Structure 1
Amino acid sequence: MPTIELDLDGYTDLPPGHIANVVTYFEMRSPDEAGGYPLPADFSVRRIERPDVEAYRALYRRIGHEWLWVSRIAMPEAELAAILRRPTTELLFLMRGEEAVGLCEIHRLGTDVEIKMFGIVPEVQGTGAAKGFLSAALDAAWQAPTERVWLHTCSFDHPAAVHFYRRMGFTPFKFAIEVTPDPRLEGVLPETAGPHVALIRPKAE
């Protein structure tokens, strides 16, 4: 993979066809730091014991289309299935009645727990469901012998994400810059995905 030199005190031009965003990492060191919120009426949380890759990806696309979520779409199906079915992976769906409207993918490595994926579909934003869902996910993540729960968000994500995670009890601890090929130019995502991120076509040579 080609590399570029990053200017730590200014701007760095990206190779044509690439996009970049700032990643913010958050952690929680005690369950006492978590902001506990109930689920609104008509919502529930369901643990998915035998994840179906097609159903997972369909929900992932609904949630992530606007925010350029791509990792689980680009991943080979067998690799994703293996990840979701590991004994150290816990998958939760937010349900409204019998409809899945949110997902949370939890990975446990000893006492360290990562909330790898978390999101809800646009139709239930603003209902309080996200707060209740993350509270339920944290209850699951903090099962003994957990010592730390962490996650990350990025500047391509919902503009309220940083405030949301801090309100839920997380503390930011690291920044990173992620540079990737634009998945819309590669055909992995439709060109309508991530409308808040400019789509710049490389100039023909």
Structure 2
Amino acid sequence: MIPDHPLPLAEGYHAVAPGDLACVVTALEMLAPPAGLKRLVPEGDVPVQLVRWKDCSAAKYRLLYSRVGAQWLWWSRMAKSDEELEGIIRDPAVQLHAVIDRARVEVGMLELDFRVAGECEIAFFGLIPGATGKGLGKWLMRKALQLGWGGEGVRRMWVHTCTLDGPTALPFYMAQGFVPYARYVEIFRDPRLAGILPADCARQQPVISG
């Protein structure tokens, strides 16, 4: 969740403490559903399906979350207790979906958050390594937009990405109709040093422990 009123930074370089990571976060929004959104993609045209996880356990959630996001240092949900995590993903205003292939293996996830009235946040969206580059991202986004705009009273959908994510994430969201509206800098403790994520993940981001 992005704070409502983060403080602006002054111009120039800003030191990041050893053991911390810094990223630039871009928030994007969509204020009306795109044309042709209701047109369904025939299920036989894609080798996966979207399955709602209503009573997912914390352990099951973390496994898929880490398979999708550890390579990009997704960590926030890994740091929560079972009680905190299940309180979110079992909330009636949160929709958690898994992308399942024909072998019944989970290869992606979609989490939609309707807890703010009139809004739908795409909280988590992604595919595991090996499932990308096959057009499944566009299919999954179409599903996300259909579900999001189908929510009661939704007037806005939004999502955010950052410079720790894959380099195609931001242009992908823009190509799907999301418009950037704000930019932030986030600083946090490297989750690999904190033991939240394995020390050898996301090797494209060097660990600087001081």
Q: Match for 2:191 among 171, 178, 183? A: 183
Q: TM-score, normalised by structure 1?
A: 0.91
CA RMSD, Structure 1 to Structure 2 (Å): 1.9
Matched residues, number: 198
Task: Check the 8 A contact 1:34/1:170 in 2, yes or no.
Answer: no
Counterpart position of 2:58:
53
> 3-state SS of the aligned residue for 2:122?
strand
Q: Which residue of 2 aligns with 1:167?
A: 175
Instruction: Please state if 1:157 is matched with 2:165.
Output: yes
Q: What TM-score, normalized to structure 2? A: 0.88
Do residues 63 (structure 1) and 68 (structure 2) align?
Answer: yes
- 2:128 is aligned, of 100, 121, 126, to 121
Quote the residue 2:4 is aligned against.
none
Deviation for aligned residue 1:33: 5.9
Query: How many angstroms apart in 1 are the aligned matches of 2:131 and 2:56?
Result: 23
| Contact 1:92–1:104 under 8 Å retained in 2 | yes
Give, as a single letter, the amino acid of the residue that structure 2 aligns with 1:145: G
Give the counterpart of 2:142 among 121, 135, 141.
135
Distance 1:52 1:34, change over 3 A: farther
Letter in 2 for 1:120: L
**Percent of paired sites with the same residue:** 33
The C-alpha deviation readout for 1:79-101, integer Å capped at 9, x for no partner, is 00010011100111111121111
**Structure 1 unmatched runs, 5+:** none
Partner of 1:103: 109
Listed as ranges, the matches of 1:21-36 within 5 Å are: 21-32=23-34
C-alpha contact 1:34 1:135 (8 A) present in aligned 2: no
Match of 2:88 in 1: 83
- For residues 116 and 161 of structure 1, the distance between their equivalents in structure 2, rounded to whole angstroms, comes to 14
